[in-house]
A and B are shown apart, each in its own frame.
Chain A
Amino acid sequence: MRSMKLNPRKAMALALLGAAWLVPPTGAAWAQTPAPATFSPPDEAAMPAGPFGDAVKLGENIFRNTPKYAPQFTGNTLSCDNCHMNGGRLANSSPMWAAYVAYPAYRSKNKKVNTFGQRLQGCFRFSENGKAPPLDSKVMVALESYSFWLSTNAPTGAKMAGRGYPKLAKPAEAPSYQRGQVVYAQNCSLCHGANGAGAAAHGAVVFPGVWGKDSYNWGAGMSAINNAADFIHANMPLGLAGTLSAQQAWDVAAYIDSQDRPQDPRFTGSVAATRAKFHNNAFSLYGTTVNGHVLGAAAQ
């Protein structure tokens, strides 16, 4: 494929983005070496019986197969489990037991204090490219019950080791679409496809789409390349996690997040204005021009 081609205005925008990469890198993969997680969520076998247990079980089912168990709120083929691996249990894969005890919290994304339920609503609106389940809906009650149960004996308000994805340090070189394309072809396309669409078999999604109409939209956290790089470095390729260098993770994140995907639901009517309002940072390529194409202009 051709290199990134920029018109003068966009070139300036990208030069500004590039300036953020001029901070001298420390050479370490992570911004801070992740501390080993000490918390363990309860065993599957310890799931309670009765009506509460039923809600927990439904929550786990929704979590592991969202399009099947919460189709009314899901607008793509992704499941919670695709980004929060092993049913939200896994340390350094944004586990639910670390997130549950961290809310309510202020979020700069919507400039409000969010409850855990409101945080989950954001996942549905952006990562699932769907609709926010009402806070008292069966789906939301089930997901909260499951997350609460996973967090059994976790201290409220504690910053749990293993929370989120280990934050990568700035890379030695600015993330590169061209290098990322090679990383993708060698490490990702086997499962996610050369077109990023993922794969289904026998009526079930097996490999999630990482771009295109069935993937997360331009409002999702994963559409920012720092978040995608952190996730990829810690979690991918499935079964070979830890084999990509930090630089490769940054590069492939830039490649994936330079592709078309569904529009940001906060779209104001103009890509430039939407970028200015919601994407005005070095990590979002929304509204920039890649391969002669303005990202977000032909959002699917």
Chain B
Amino acid sequence: MYRILCGLMIALIAGLGWPQRSAAAPPQASQCAACHGANGMGNQAAGFPALAGLPAAYLQAQLAAFKSKERANATMAGMAAPLTGSEMAALSDYYAALPVAPAPLPAALPTGPGAALAQRGDWQAGLADGIPSCDSCHGPGGLGVGTQFPRLAGQPALYLAAQLNGWREGTRKTGPMGLMAAVARRLTPAQITAVTAYYAALPADPANGAKP
């Protein structure tokens, strides 16, 4: 009985220490970590996106798209090429389960054209050519909605801009209904700069339940 209790205690303590890492890191995760960070939170300066806490289905679709070149990226194509479907699934599950550390909201939320585009969109061109607000699909504060609308908050501006330009230029073909390609083609370079700076400045997980 004592042994069982001790075993339970150890399991409990171990569990408390790494509450979200229920699954061990798949072997390939060490290669991911070189750019995306050991904690999966990416690298702002270099423009490597955070993977932690993104929907597993989304991550898995991206790995498959890198392999098929639907999403053109030389580095990621090389990384994804040797992966099997089940290895992609394991990596995606692992990163989806990694915790996003809560961070305080910035003392002053970013304002200006980036914030306006993110929260209100730009409807100057009317209904058919207008730009819906990013938040209207990616959720308030760009925290993400479901498996198809990933988190934008806290992602590097370089990364976000590269994606928008990829949709404009056709190098990123992924995404449901061609929505992002349609919207990205309506953005000016100045709007891309402003809106990507806005989301980069937002916390990936605002602390204290405060949502922008």
From A93, A199, A203, A239, B145 is in contact (CB under 8 Å) with A199
Decide: B137 and A238 in contact? CB cutoff 8 A: yes
The listed residue with most B CB atoms (<10 A of its CB), out of A89, A199, A206, is A206
Residues of B in contact (CB 8 Å), total 28
Partner of A86, one of B123, B176, B182: B123
Is the C-beta of A267 less than 8 angstroms from some C-beta in chain B?
A: no
Q: Which residues of A contact B139 (CB under 8 A)?
A: 201-202, 204, 206
A90 to B121, CA, bound (A): 12
Cβ A240 vs Cβ B179 within 8 A? yes
Q: Does A114 contact B (CB under 8 A)?
A: no
- The answer to whether A237 and B177 touch (CB under 8 A), given A86-B123, A93-B127, is yes
How many residues on the A side are at the interface (Cβ–Cβ under 8 A)? 27
A86 touches B143 (CB 8 A): no
A70 within 8 A of B: no
* B137 and A191 within 8 A (CB): yes
**Cα-based distance from A199 to B131 in the complex (angstroms):** 21
Task: State which residues 129-177 of B face A: CB under 8 Å.
Answer: 130-132, 136-137, 139-141, 143-146, 148, 176-177
User: Hey, what's the 0/1 contact readout for A174-207 against B, CB within 8 Å counting as 1?
Assistant: 0000000000000100110000000101111011
Contact with B along A60-95 (1 / 0, CB 8 A): 000000000000000000000000011101111100
Q: Are B145 and A238 in contact, CB atoms less than 8 angstroms apart?
A: no
Kindly state the separation between the CA atoms of A202 and B204 in the bound complex, as whole angstroms. Answer: 12
Shortest CB distance B158–A (Å): 24
B137 and A206 form a contact (CB under 8 A):
yes
For residue B122, which residue of chain A has the nearest CB? A86
Q: How far is the CA of A203 from the CA of B143 in the complex (A)?
A: 11
Q: Are A91 and B179 in contact (CB under 8 A)?
A: no
Task: Give the residues in chain B near A206, CB-CB below 8 Å.
Answer: 136-137, 139-140, 145
* A-to-B contact residues, CB < 8 Å: 44, 85-87, 89-93, 187, 190-191, 199, 201-204, 206-207, 234-235, 237-242
Q: Which 6 residue pairs of A and B lie closest in terms of their CB atoms, listed nearest first?
A: A242-B128, A201-B139, A201-B145, A204-B140, A86-B123, A241-B127
| CB-defined A-B contacts under 8 Å, sample of 11 | A90-B127, A201-B139, A201-B140, A201-B143, A203-B209, A204-B139, A206-B145, A234-B127, A239-B179, A240-B177, A242-B127
